[in-house]
């Protein structure tokens, strides 16, 4: 299997994020995540690691609004250039706003903090000096995996930062560009595409991007947003709109879900994919479903992760696997290898 990876991800290394209650904590989405995955893959006899190709901005702008992309590109420089009394902070170690736009009432602001509050969803996607470069390289890894599966059975994009919480015009939840959505949109030029999200958290950004489209079937299995981030999307009744009605499906899972219940929900999702008859499959592969993940409240074992991979592989579709979450660094690499090994 060809693996697409870029060292550029090390440039995105926020020192902190802000948890509920305003508490600063070390950022869970750290460079160590990708390093652990890469190390585990290099111990296999089937992983071949390659740098991504440069696809330019056009495939990203096909998914994300130009104003949002321009914001990400300029945000760090604008943050440094803002006078402290104008910016509102002497500490310039990361760009995080304190005021967020209510989208139904929002008007884009001119100040850097106003723009940040307009384009950012929460306090878990801080922008630092290397964020834009890392997000760009991450998207190119996903596009390289998509290109690979036009002539191969599978490929893996070792994306960091992840992407599935990033919508058309917002970042959040550690995500800046929606790597899986960018890959799926690129592949949609070649035929119908299914996008299956198995991350612990609902893929609200992906839902936002494809909600009114019928050429991409989007499905997300995740912790019920009634109790878990992102709270405001990912409910079972959200089925798409307009031309996309019936082409989006959420499978919210209760806290404590184990292997058997998860695999039963997965079987229902795979049935929908078979009925759709896509020409390619994109997987948002989050390993935060693992039972000992610090940010998760469901309990999927490593054997469960392997079985998830095996059942998806039985679809026999060209499959681009895109890395999303997973924050137990001691287990992360082995979990990814267990999942990807079923596609050999």
Per-residue pLDDT tens digits for 260-285: 999 999 999 999 999 999 999 999 99
| Mean pLDDT confidence for 320-325 | 99
Amino acid 87: pLDDT: 61
Q: What is the pLDDT of residues 144-162, one digit of tens each?
A: 999 999 999 999 999 999 9
Average pLDDT, the chain: 96
Residues with a catalytic annotation lie at 165
What is the dotted CATH code of the domain comprising 2-53+129-343?
Answer: 3.40.800.20
Cα 294 to its chain centre, rounded Å, is: 18
pLDDT of residue 78: 94
For the segment 84-129, what is each residue's pLDDT rounded down to a tens digit? 766 666 778 999 998 999 867 778 788 899 999 999 999 999 999 9
Contact present, 91 and 15 (Cβ < 8 Å): no
Contact 211, 203 (CB under 8 A): no
Q: How far apart are CA 204 and CA 284, in angstroms?
A: 12
**What is the residue extent of each domain of the chain?**
2-53+129-343, 66-119
pLDDT at 222: 98
Confidence at residue 170, expressed as pLDDT on a 0 to 100 scale: 96
Query: Which of 156, 202, 150 lies closest to 322, judged by CA?
Result: 156
The CA-atom distances, in angstroms, between 188 and each of 79, 194, 214, 313 are: 37, 9, 11, 20
- Tally of residues, the chain: 344
Q: Indicate the pTM of the whole model.
A: 0.97
CA distance 171 to 100: 12
Q: Which whole number is the average pLDDT over 320-327?
A: 98
């Amino acid at each position: 299997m060809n693996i697409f990876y870029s060292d550029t991800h090390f440039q995105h290394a926020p020192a902190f994020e802000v948890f509920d209650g305003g508490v600063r904590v070390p950022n869970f989405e750290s460079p160590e995540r990708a390093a652990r995955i890469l190390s585990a893959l290099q111990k296999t006899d089937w992983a071949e690691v390659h740098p991504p190709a440069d696809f330019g901005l056009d495939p990203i702008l096909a998914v994300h609004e130009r104003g949002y992309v321009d914001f990400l590109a300029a945000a760090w420089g604008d943050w440094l250039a803002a006078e402290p009394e104008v910016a509102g902070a002497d500490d310039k170690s990361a760009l995080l706003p304190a005021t967020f736009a209510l989208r139904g009432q929002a008007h884009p602001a001119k100040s850097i903090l106003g723009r940040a509050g307009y384009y950012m969803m929460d306090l878990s996607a801080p922008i630092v000096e290397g964020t834009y470069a890392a997000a760009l390289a991450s998207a190119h890894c996903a596009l390289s995996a998509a290109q690979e599966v036009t002539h191969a059975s599978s490929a893996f994009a070792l994306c960091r930062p992840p992407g599935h919480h990033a919508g058309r015009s917002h970042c959040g939840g550690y995500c800046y560009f929606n790597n899986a959505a960018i890959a799926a949109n690129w592949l949609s030029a070649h035929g119908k595409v299914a996008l299956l999200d198995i991350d612990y958290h609902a893929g609200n950004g992906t839902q936002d991007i494809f909600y009114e489209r019928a050429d991409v079937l989007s499905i997300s299995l995740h912790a019920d947003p009634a109790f878990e981030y992102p709270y405001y999307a990912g409910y079972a009744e959200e089925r798409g709109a307009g031309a996309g009605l019936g082409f989006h499906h959420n499978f919210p899972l209760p806290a404590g879900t184990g292997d058997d219940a998860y695999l039963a929900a997965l079987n229902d999702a795979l049935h929908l994919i078979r009925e759709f008859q896509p020409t390619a499959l994109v997987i948002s592969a989050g390993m935060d479903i693992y039972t000992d993940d610090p940010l998760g409240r469901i309990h999927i074992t490593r054997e469960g992760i392997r079985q998830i991979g095996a059942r998806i592989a039985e679809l026999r579709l060209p499959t681009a696997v895109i890395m999303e979450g997973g924050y137990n660094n001691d287990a992360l690499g082995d979990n990814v290898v267990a999942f990807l090994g079923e596609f050999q």
